[in-house]
Structure 1
Amino acid sequence: MAPLRVRVRVPATSANLGPGFDSLGLALDIWGTLTVEAAPASVRADGMAWLALAAAERLFAQRGRPLPPLRVEYDGGVPVARGLGASAVARVGGLLAACALLGEAPDPHALLPLAAELEGHADNAAPALLGGFQIAVRRDDGSYLCAGFPPPSGLRAVLFVPQRELPTAEARRVLPRSVSRADAVYNIGRAALLAACLASGRLEHLDEATRDRLHQPYRERLFPALAPLVEASLEAGALGAYLSGAGPAVCALTSGREEAVAEALAKAARRLELEGETIITAPTSRGAHLVEV
């Protein structure tokens, strides 16, 4: 018998990791919780709840079923419109909840194509569903292939999350329609190096591996503080740093010296008169999961 109330936890995610535009993502130990329950009549929803309901409705439609009246409540520490995968939290949460309400056991790999379609790309959806470090590739026929592994033990992520929002659509509009061969080769090499670093634990190369020419230089026009924040984190001992997703959050990867890096980011932000907060967290190997059915 399908439940009348479902609770789902979904991790925040940091996409691109510098060179892996629309392809690489890392799940973070920051969580959003969605509670979805049957309601006597349709309940007006907006924000995260609306995204979750829209995702649930798509899955019900795939099964040839109408979406029943539902109420969605969101609670969690995932900042919205900051480059930490909040929309993927809502959509993936809605898909897992829909599975449970349909009486199905959620299959993250089976849900990835729809999650990626809803998101427009899989770099946040894959780690939100599966946890860990994920490489998502879109095949020529439009389907997705995903491969990943647990992040190295001891790896930490220090975030600076600006108070201002930067919607993904705005951050994508500034990107060029084509890039040079030199820039493509630059990023291909560093994306491969990044995967090798994280798979092998050779973290000493992360500074070079998190560099990018395909999106960060263009998005810096919208967020000029990016370069000073990255530089401050590296000078304080970060292994590598990059614009998280479409931004404006900056993620510095560390293995020790987390407090020093956090303080350096906060100090640089004060110098730039940029309001925001620092968060010290870690990657997580766990993806979205049901916590109450």
Structure 2
Amino acid sequence: MDREGRPVAEAPALGRSAPKDAVGVWTARVPASSANLGSGFDVLGMAVDLELVVRATFDPEAPGALSIAVAGAPPAAGAAADGAASIPNDETNLIYRAFRAALQAAGEPVPGVRFVIESAIPPASGLGSSAAAIAAGLILARGVLGARFRIDDGLALAVRLEGHPDNVAAAFFGGLVAAWAAEEGAVSVQMVRRELPLRLLALVPERPLSTASSRAVLPKAYSRPDVVDALAKVALLVSAVKNGDWGALKPLFADRLHQPYRLPLVPGAEAVFRLANDRRCLGMYLSGAGPTIMALFLDEAERAAWLEGARPVLEAYGFRPLELAPSAVGARVETPEGETLAW
């Protein structure tokens, strides 16, 4: 990180100046992410330990060729969801779109591509599946292009594809980050805390919820008291996380900017949120655009005890618990020679 705490990295020289040299299998690994954390709307993002893995091979002799295979299926967002079917196998695939956009921006021809994708991230669940896909495509491009594809270029392109910086910043760097995208396209990221000694419980409902649907219910403007409430809480939340004051978190997750409008879209959400009153739960918030609800705990024992008491409510409304932890590791790619490269 630089003097201001911003993660920066220069790629080691990989001995490659163009995609034509990118032979062998490249393996990208990217964490899921949980965004907003209450009032940190479109600003705060936390990497979590579900992973997207993409194994890529490139054929410069077949430009434009594309083959995408899915190894297994991610945990379904709902009982009837088909995880494999939710991953496009054509040019609309976000991993490919991000990879192609990066090479085109660098003035390089796009080689033939084969991706084998394995994802543990539930789609359309508020756990950053699209941000992980974008980050995977861009870290693959970083590996192929080397230092010509700078971190600032990657972040700006990721935000253009995703629309907001919180999830992609967490996917890039790991940890808990704050991010801001300026109108001219520049993206600023600060690492709030890389290592978080917490345990998480992602409560995933049966029905997925698209980000577009979740954003459509938000108001066009907010009152001054609501904005001041958000500013105060996000400042206190960042300070509490940096200082490890975990007991201060619970009231700071309550926001007025997005959760009051989105929770009615998630059947049973209000009943689940009432379970946060249990002393063993450090707090609860709607993860990203939803529908997943994220609960935080000090350790595995507290999480297990809380979950035992919460099961009747969770089962009544069809919430599936996923036991997770924050991830300190962001996107990285393993070269054909076994070298690991991160941002």
Considering the TM-score relative to the shorter chain, is it more than 0.5?
yes
Q: Does 1:28 align with 2:68?
A: no
Aligned-pair CA distance for 1:30: 1.3
Task: Name 1:190's counterpart in structure 2.
Answer: 233
Q: Which of residues 15, 22, 27 in structure 2 aligns to 1:3? A: 22
Normalising by the residue count of structure 2, what TM-score does the alignment of the two structures yield?
0.80
Per the alignment, do residues 108 and 129 of structure 1 end up closer, same or farther by CA in structure 2, a change over 3 Å counting? farther
* Structure 1 residues 195-214: aligned runs within 5 Å: 195-214=238-257
* Structure 1 residues 162-201: aligned runs within 5 Å: 162-201=205-244
C-alpha distance in 1, partners of 2:198/2:259?
23
Per the alignment, do residues 117 and 264 of structure 1 end up closer, same or farther by CA in structure 2, a change over 3 Å counting? farther
C-alpha distance in 2, partners of 1:48/1:203?
40
Letter in 1 for 2:52: G
Aligned-pair CA distance for 1:52: 0.3
Q: Which runs of 5+ in 2 are unaligned?
A: 1-15, 69-85, 337-343
C-alpha distance in 2, partners of 1:36/1:191?
39
Q: Is the 8 A contact 2:32 2:127 kept in 1?
A: yes
Q: Which of residues 206, 229, 239 in structure 1 aligns to 2:282? A: 239
Task: Name 1:254's counterpart in structure 2.
Answer: 297
C-alpha distance in 2, partners of 1:157/1:108?
29
Aligned-pair CA distance for 1:151: 4.6
My pick for the range that moved more, 121-130 or 27-36, is 27-36
Aligned-pair CA distance for 1:201: 0.4
Aligned-pair CA distance for 1:227: 1.9
Which digits, 9 at most, give the CA deviation of each residue in 1:55-100, with x for residues without a partner? 0111011101221110112112111110000001111000111122
Q: Which of residues 35, 40, 43 in structure 1 aligns to 2:66? A: 43
Letter in 1 for 2:207: R
SS in 2 for 1:89: helix
C-alpha distance in 2, partners of 1:53/1:64?
16
C-alpha distance in 2, partners of 1:214/1:48?
32
C-alpha distance in 1, partners of 2:48/2:308?
20
Q: Does 1:92 align with 2:132?
A: no
RMSD over aligned CA atoms reads 2.0
Aligned-pair CA distance for 1:142: 3.2
C-alpha distance in 2, partners of 1:207/1:282?
18
Task: Name 2:71's counterpart in structure 1.
Answer: none
Which digits, 9 at most, give the CA deviation of each residue in 1:122-161, with x for residues without a partner? 0100010011111001234331111013355421211111
C-alpha distance in 2, partners of 1:106/1:290?
14
C-alpha distance in 1, partners of 2:67/2:220?
38
Q: Does 1:149 align with 2:192?
A: yes
Task: Name 1:269's counterpart in structure 2.
Answer: 314
C-alpha distance in 2, partners of 1:286/1:6?
18
Aligned-pair CA distance for 1:278: 1.0
SS in 2 for 1:197: helix
Per the alignment, do residues 263 and 3 of structure 1 end up closer, same or farther by CA in structure 2, a change over 3 Å counting? farther
Larger Rg: 1 or 2?
2
Aligned-pair CA distance for 1:222: 1.0
Q: Is the 8 A contact 2:175 2:195 kept in 1?
A: no
Aligned-pair CA distance for 1:163: 2.5
Q: Which runs of 5+ in 1 are unaligned?
A: none
Task: Name 2:156's counterpart in structure 1.
Answer: 113
